[in-house]
Amino acid sequence: MPRAVPLTRYAIVSAALKIAERDGLDGLSMRVLAAELDVTPMAIYYHVPDKESLVNLVVDAVHDRQVPLEIGTDGWEASLRRRLQSQWDELSRYPGLGAHLLNQPDLGATPHSIEAGVAFFEAAGFSRRGARLAWSFATTYLHGRLSVDARLRGSRSAKAAGIRSKDYVAFGIDAVVAGLRTMLRDERAANG
Amino acid sequence: MPRAVPLTRYAIVSAALKIAERDGLDGLSMRVLAAELDVTPMAIYYHVPDKESLVNLVVDAVHDRQVPLEIGTDGWEASLRRRLQSQWDELSRYPGLGAHLLNQPDLGATPHSIEAGVAFFEAAGFSRRGARLAWSFATTYLHGRLSVDARLRGSRSAKAAGIRSKDYVAFGIDAVVAGLRTMLRDERAANG
DNA sequence: ACCTGAACACCGTTCAAGT
DNA sequence: ACCTGAACACCGTTCAAGT
């Protein structure tokens, strides 16, 4: 018999987000999700074509909460710093999401999102090619860091030498920004 | 009946490396490996306790081919650059290996290997804490980049704007080195 | 000592059937 | 239109049994 309240895409994605936040993206299976929704695994397939699409919907939902990447009045470096930090804050809630995005084409970003990123670095002074490389560099590092952090959930939070996740992220963001500052200076020097 | 030539750990790891190189680490399953060795899946369990141990043996085999991280006569920046490039050259042969290491404690490095890395950055002038952060930063980026590259195998090798894997890696290594140079300068300035 | 074979608990998914 | 149930091809792994 049909459910009292019919299943919706929205309910599916909500439950998927809940599981991904609690058990990580690796803990999200069609069968676990179905159990959470009190439904047969195959019921989900009526609303979502396959698991890949489901995960994409989860990714979209998280991405929609991102603050846009724009250059504020305090310059591109401060803007980039804010963006990377807020991106880490959002994505680190879902263990395994960074690792997943790292394995997606274009780091799981939409064409629109990539264009915004490239435009940001062009506005900062990079060439189009340099902007594309800069965006990829910053995003690759951040998602890599998120992958590492995913396995630190629940384990001893203090690592060797008493360095915590937030310390690694803070250092990483500083180093990424400093590295890109130098790359921008070098590119400008080379192009006259 | 027993095999003509009894199975050995070495034969198992060799076959595993072959599969990981051909089909990626995701293509390496106990059953596929057993078929490659012309043996029952459970035969492997007599020589290796479980899959995690098997993958660790694969990781060790690849890591053993790494050139050691030492400061040459041309300074720490050139040495780091060489190391990162050779690390990428080695690890990129095994798609999925970078992604796997990113999810391992301490990025899949042995205590000995970490100590060598930290010692390298201390010799470059970093504090012990800074050296640990610097090592983690460089390694996280490199493995992140390897994760991205893994999915580019077989796809159109030329990406948007005609930027190739090696361009991303070259830019990334430059940016990592430049970023760490700045972090080192800032740390020295702060500590007098 | 070394390996096989059956079995269990998972996974994503197809396909036919029910209401 | 919306969902169920059985089934298939995978996965890692346990356990008892064979030689």
Write down the pLDDT at residue B151. 87
Is the per-residue pLDDT at B157 higher than 60? Answer: no
Write down the pLDDT at residue A131. 98
* CA A9 to C1' C10, whole Å: 25
Residues of chain A with pLDDT under 50: none
**Chain C nucleotides with an atom closer than 7 Å to a protein C-beta:** 2-6, 10-16, 19
Is the per-residue pLDDT at B158 higher than 60? Answer: no
Measured in residues, chain B has a length of 192
pLDDT band at B12, cuts 50/70/90? very high
Query: Is the CB of A81 inside 8 Å of chain B's CB atoms?
Result: no
Q: With an 8 Å Cβ cutoff, are A171 and B183 in contact?
A: yes
Is the per-residue pLDDT at B128 higher than 60? Answer: yes
Q: With an 8 Å Cβ cutoff, are B145 and A143 in contact?
A: no
CB-to-strand C under 7 Å, chain B 45-74: 45-47
Query: Is the CB of B137 inside 8 Å of chain A's CB atoms?
Result: yes
Write down the pLDDT at residue B191. 81
Give yes or no for CB of B50 within 7 Å of strand D: yes
DSSP string spanning chain B? ---SS---HHHHHHHHHHHHHHH-GGG--HHHHHHHTTS-HHHHHHHSS-HHHHHHHHHHHHHTTSPP---BTTHHHHHHHHHHHHHHHHHTTSTTHHHHHHTSGGGG--HHHHHHHHHHHHHTT--HHHHHHHHHHHHHHHHHHHHHHHTTSSS-SS-GGG--HHHHHHHHHHHHHHHHHHHHHHHHHHT-
CA distances from A38 to A16, A67, B122 (A): 13, 34, 56
Predicted confidence (pLDDT) per residue in B29-43, tens digit? 999 999 999 999 999
Is the per-residue pLDDT at B162 higher than 90? Answer: no
Write down the pLDDT at residue B63. 96
Q: With an 8 Å Cβ cutoff, are B176 and A172 in contact?
A: no
* CA A43 to C1' C19, whole Å: 14
Query: Is the CB of B67 inside 8 Å of chain A's CB atoms?
Result: no
Mutation pick from A52, A110, A140 vs chain B, by most beta carbons of B within 10 Å, is: A140
A81 or B157, greater pLDDT? A81
B69 or B153, greater pLDDT? B69
Q: What whole-number percentage of chain B has pLDDT above 70?
A: 93
Choose among B99, B155, B161: nearest Cβ to A103: B99
Which residue is listed with tokens 């010692």?
B119
B79 or B191, greater pLDDT? B79
Q: What are phi and psi of B137, to 5 degrees?
A: -60, -50
Give, for A123, the enclosing helix (H) or strand (E): helix A111-124
Which residues of chain A does B155 touch, with a Cβ-Cβ cutoff of 8 Å?
Answer: 105
Write down the pLDDT at residue B160. 62
Give yes or no for CB of A35 within 7 Å of strand C: no
